[in-house]
Amino acid sequence: MSSAPFSKEQIDFLKEHMAQWLAEQSLGKPPQVYEIELRERMVRVEEELKHQRDMIQHIIDQMDKRFDQVDKRFEQMDKRFEQMERRFEQMERRFEQMDQRFEVMTKRIDRLIIWFFSTTVAVGGIVVGLIKFL
């Protein structure tokens, strides 16, 4: 199976007769007039292709700008997350400081309770001893 749809002979035949066939289809216009019309059409097609190429380039430029804006937004979000992370770290340090303070307070209260209990027992012993002695 050949990859080309037409053979070289067929292509040559088409090239030789294409201008004549097109001229016949142009309602009897002479080949020179048809050629001028064909060139005008080609120029219009080329101009339209150029216009489409310019439009595509404009769209690509706009998309690039939009992607840049999206990238900037993500960068801003990253910075905000970093700030939040720093704030959480600060809060964590504060909680650790509070934990240490509570531990110190708990130790003080424990010592105070032991001191009060032993003082109460000692005073109670002295009172009981005085009552027995008298």
DSSP assignment of 57-126 equals HHHHHHHHHHHHHHHHHHHHHHHHHHHHHHHHHHHHHHHHHHHHHHHHHHHHHHHHHHHHHHHHHHHHHH
CA separation for the pair 28, 113 (Å, rounded): 122
Measured between alpha carbons, how far is 45 from 23 in angstroms, rounded to an integer?
Answer: 20
Instruction: Tell me 9's DSSP state.
Output: H
Asked if the structure places residue 3 within a domain, the reply is no
Confidence band for 8, pLDDT divided at 50, 70 and 90? confident
Percent of the chain beyond pLDDT 90? 69
Is residue 23 a contact partner of residue 29, using CB atoms and an 8 Å limit? yes
Q: Per the domain annotation, does 119 fall within a domain? A: yes
What average pLDDT does range 28-32 have in this prediction?
64
Judge whether 23 lies within some domain. Answer: yes
Is residue 65 in a domain?
yes
- 19 belongs to a structural domain: yes
| Residue with the two structure tokens 């509070």 | 98
Domain extent for 114:
8-133
Residue 23: per-residue pLDDT: 66
Number of structural domains the chain divides into? 1
22, 34 Cβ separation under 8 angstroms: yes
98 has a pLDDT exceeding 70: yes
Res 5: pLDDT:
77
Separation of alpha carbons 17 and 62, rounded Å: 47
Q: Is the pLDDT of residue 47 over 60?
A: yes
